[in-house]
């Protein structure tokens, strides 16, 4: 690891004229953090503790004007540019070596228009920020399932969560965005204005600019919902999965369940004799009449004898924060994904075997039930392509010791590689990207070439290139 005095950040900053940095800082509304500042190590740290990078500057933006200034400064001085939103980018692309981090985390305002049934949230907001404001009126938009997740990365790559099957992806709930493109210009993009750019940001990741605010449609949700959370012994996985797949074929869209293999946490809420043992669990919710929840979930609950059943009515904001403690800042993470057209015996076998072989008891193999409102939208209506897949399998490697990095990364990669050999598997999801080692086309399918055209139009020099990059076409000769 580089020392602070010879870090890539120090080296890169030394190439920028000192008076240019002073002028940038003087005109900046937020704070500029340099490598020699006491705040530097905290400013460069991100949620995934495996990421250890040294930017030349961290620009903590107070508003859109600061974002524009940061983009212009990065281009003028040939600095790589990374964008930090609210948090939980597993690939760590929110920070870069020797470049400038455009940090939106202080731009987290949320504004609800209850008459229009919309909410506008700034680019640094988290799911929790949005849910807190919208639930005042019994409203919500379709976001993720961990309240500390940033809305920006989640939305730009699609956005799955508890409301997905009923109301679609996060991108399907977008009404408009404000975005700063590579030339430093500010655009409003919607179906009626800059429609091509709006198409691209709905699933095209951060390739087209920095979104400083998102406007979403709102729906009647809560304030109380039914949370379904049940754990079974690993020996019951075949019976549990058989019943689960039967259930997914007929379940109403206002209910959804994620099934995962995991080790029982060593905490007092679980029976002492079950702790640390392998298990299969289900987590989901129902937003209909609470009196009907038993009828909806009883087929799953009775598939085997539960180790423990935490299911109960709860506030929607509590449902959204149930998993927060499982994903703390600084833990080490490597998550990969693959879509499935069917869940075969081979898929269930992989879920079981990789649970037993995981180097970390904190890791899980998750099966997401998709479909519903997601597949009702044509595949070419937005940049997000994999709408036709009814399931997604994700390997979540979570561990503590840096010495275990290689083993845990290999576990996740090998699991996805083995699954990808099955005829039912194809395509990847941008919010579970590993370290972005897969080709971008695996995310975008047949929408890829149109995305390349739009990348060439809006970012011909590939300024926004730290994520799963869509490369612009080369300039044609004169």
Whole-model pTM above 0.85? yes
Burial class (CB in 10 A: 0-12, 13-18, 19+), 357: exposed
Q: How far apart are CA 60 and CA 406, in angstroms?
A: 33
Ranges assigned E (strand) in 173-267: 174-180, 186-190, 210-217, 219-220, 224-233, 255-263
What count of residues does the chain have? 478
Top-tier CATH class for 110-220: alpha beta
Q: Is 399:332 a contact under the CB 8 Å cutoff? A: yes
Q: What element of type H or E holds 384? A: none
Token reading at 281: 């669990």
CATH architecture of 224-426: 3-Layer(aba) Sandwich (3.40)
Q: How far apart are CA 191 and CA 197, in angstroms?
A: 9
CATH code, residues 4-103:
3.30.43.10
* Residue 32, beta-bridge partner list: 59
Q: Return the domain boundaries, the chain.
A: 4-103, 110-220, 224-426
Token reading at 448: 């890829």
pLDDT in tens, the chain (478 residues): 444 468 999 999 999 999 999 999 999 999 999 999 999 999 999 999 999 999 999 999 999 999 999 999 999 999 999 999 998 999 999 999 999 999 999 999 999 999 999 999 999 999 999 999 999 999 999 999 999 999 999 999 999 999 999 999 999 999 999 999 999 999 999 999 999 999 999 999 999 999 999 999 999 998 999 999 999 999 999 999 999 999 999 999 999 999 999 999 999 899 999 999 999 999 999 999 999 999 999 999 999 999 999 999 999 999 999 999 999 999 999 999 999 999 999 999 999 999 999 999 999 999 999 999 999 999 999 999 999 999 999 999 999 999 999 999 999 999 999 999 999 999 999 999 999 998 889 999 999 999 999 999 999 999 999 877 899 998 754 3
């Amino acid at each position: 690891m580089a020392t602070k005095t010879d870090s890539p950040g120090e080296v890169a900053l030394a190439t920028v004229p000192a008076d240019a940095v002073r002028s940038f800082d003087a005109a900046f509304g937020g704070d500029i953090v340099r490598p020699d500042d006491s705040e530097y190590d905290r400013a460069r740290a991100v949620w995934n503790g495996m990421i250890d990078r040294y930017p030349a500057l961290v620009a903590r933006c107070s508003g859109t004007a600061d974002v524009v200034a940061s983009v212009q400064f990065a281009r003028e001085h040939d600095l790589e540019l990374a964008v930090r939103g609210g948090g939980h980018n597993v690939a760590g692309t929110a920070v870069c070596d020797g470049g400038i981090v455009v940090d939106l985390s202080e731009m987290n305002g949320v504004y609800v228009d209850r008459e229009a049934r919309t909410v506008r949230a700034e680019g640094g907001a988290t799911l929790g920020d949005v849910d807190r404001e919208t639930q005042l009126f019994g409203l919500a938009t379709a976001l993720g399932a961990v309240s500390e997740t940033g809305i920006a990365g989640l939305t730009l790559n699609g956005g799955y969560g508890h409301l997905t099957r009923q109301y679609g992806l996060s991108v399907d709930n977008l009404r408009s965005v404000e975005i700063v493109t590579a030339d430093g210009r500010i655009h409003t993009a919607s179906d009626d204005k800059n429609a091509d750019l709006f198409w691209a940001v709905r699933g095209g990741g951060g390739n087209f600019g920095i979104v400083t605010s998102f406007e979403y449609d709102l729906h009647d949700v809560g304030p109380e919902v039914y949370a379904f959370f049940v754990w079974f012994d690993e020996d019951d996985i075949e019976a549990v999965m058989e019943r689960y797949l039967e259930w997914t074929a007929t379940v109403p869209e206002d209910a959804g369940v994620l099934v995962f293999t995991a080790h029982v946490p060593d905490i007092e809420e679980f029976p002492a004799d079950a702790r640390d043992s392998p298990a299969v669990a289900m987590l989901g919710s129902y937003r209909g009449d609470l009196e009907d929840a038993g009828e909806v979930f009883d087929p799953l609950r009775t598939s085997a004898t539960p180790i423990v059943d935490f299911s109960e009515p709860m506030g929607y904001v509590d449902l959204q924060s149930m998993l927060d403690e499982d994903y703390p800042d600084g833990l080490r993470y490597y998550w990969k994904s693959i879509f499935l057209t069917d869940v075969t015996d081979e898929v269930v076998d992989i879920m079981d075997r990789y649970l037993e072989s995981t180097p970390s008891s904190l890791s899980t193999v998750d099966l997401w039930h998709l479909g519903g409102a997601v597949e009702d939208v044509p595949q070419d209506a937005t940049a997000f392509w994999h709408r036709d897949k009814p399931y997604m399998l994700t390997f979540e490697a979570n561990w503590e010791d840096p010495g275990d990095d290689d083993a845990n990364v290999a576990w996740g990669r090998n699991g996805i590689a083995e699954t990808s050999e099955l005829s039912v598997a194809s395509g990847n999801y941008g919010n579970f990207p590993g370290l972005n080692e897969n080709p971008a086309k695996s995310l975008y399918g047949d929408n890829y070439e149109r995305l390349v055209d739009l990348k060439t139009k809006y970012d011909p020099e590939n300024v926004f290139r730290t994520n799963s990059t869509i490369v612009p076409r080369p300039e044609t000769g004169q």
